[in-house]
Amino acid sequence: MYLYGASGHCKVIVDIIASTPELTIKGILDDNPKFDMLFDIPVFNTKMFETFSDKQLIITVGDNRIRKKIVENSPAIYKIAVHSKAIVSNYATIGIGTVIMAGAILNPDATIGQHCIINTGALVEHDCQIDNFVHVSPNAALAGGVAVGEGTHIGIGSVVIQGIKIGKWVTIGAGAIIINNIPDYAVVVGNPGRIIKYNEEHE
């Protein structure tokens, strides 16, 4: 397979794939490569390829919006990467393009959308519904039955109590404690979480 995006986030995905012997990386693609190799993997300029439609690919860009834009413009055979040290219930569902990092836990009936990042040590409890292009940061915890809309970023170490609904393209700040539903595009910080502004898409 190929990875798209020669970033720090890419390094973590390389480590995930190294933990799963059935997967191998042929190369890393980047629009503006700053180096020829990442670890021992060659880095190629994306301009070398007319199409990715016949390639197995994972987008290794941490920014949710950029990841969505790449997917919209780059049809490919998108794959899933799950670290061998992650704990994933047999009753959880993971969408294409999603990556699950070391120490993450997905419990039964958790549903993860496409091209999501479930980062190191994150907890997604039973019956959570995570939409596409969401990033659940390291050590964030979502209690049972939480719903998270498209493109939302759940900050490092944040906690969301059971049954909460978080809208699309929301930003939850680091360490925030979410005890109320959150509308689309809100930026939320603190304990308890409070809305301090809205992302620019808010109408």
pTM for the full model? 0.95
Q: For 82-132, how does the pLDDT look when each residue is reduced to its tens digit (9 = 90+)?
A: 999 999 999 999 999 999 999 999 999 999 999 999 999 999 999 999 999
Which residue ranges in the chain fall short of pLDDT 70? 201-203
CA–CA distance, 24 with 56 (Å, rounded to integer): 11
Query: Which residues touch 73 (CB under 8 Å, ≥6 apart)?
Result: none
Q: What architecture is the 81-188 domain classified under in CATH?
A: 3 Solenoid (2.160)
Q: Which one from 9, 83, 126, 202 is the annotated catalytic residue?
A: 126
HSE-CB at 187 with a 13 A cutoff on CA atoms is 7
CA–CA distance, 160 with 141 (Å, rounded to integer): 6
CA–CA distance, 62 with 135 (Å, rounded to integer): 8
Which one is the CATH code of 2-78: 2.60.120.10, 3.20.20.70, 2.60.120.650, 3.40.50.20? 3.40.50.20
Place of tokens 């990556």: 99
126 is catalytic: yes
Question: Per-domain residue ranges for the chain?
Answer: 2-78, 81-188
Instruction: Show the tokens assigned to 201.
Output: 């898409």
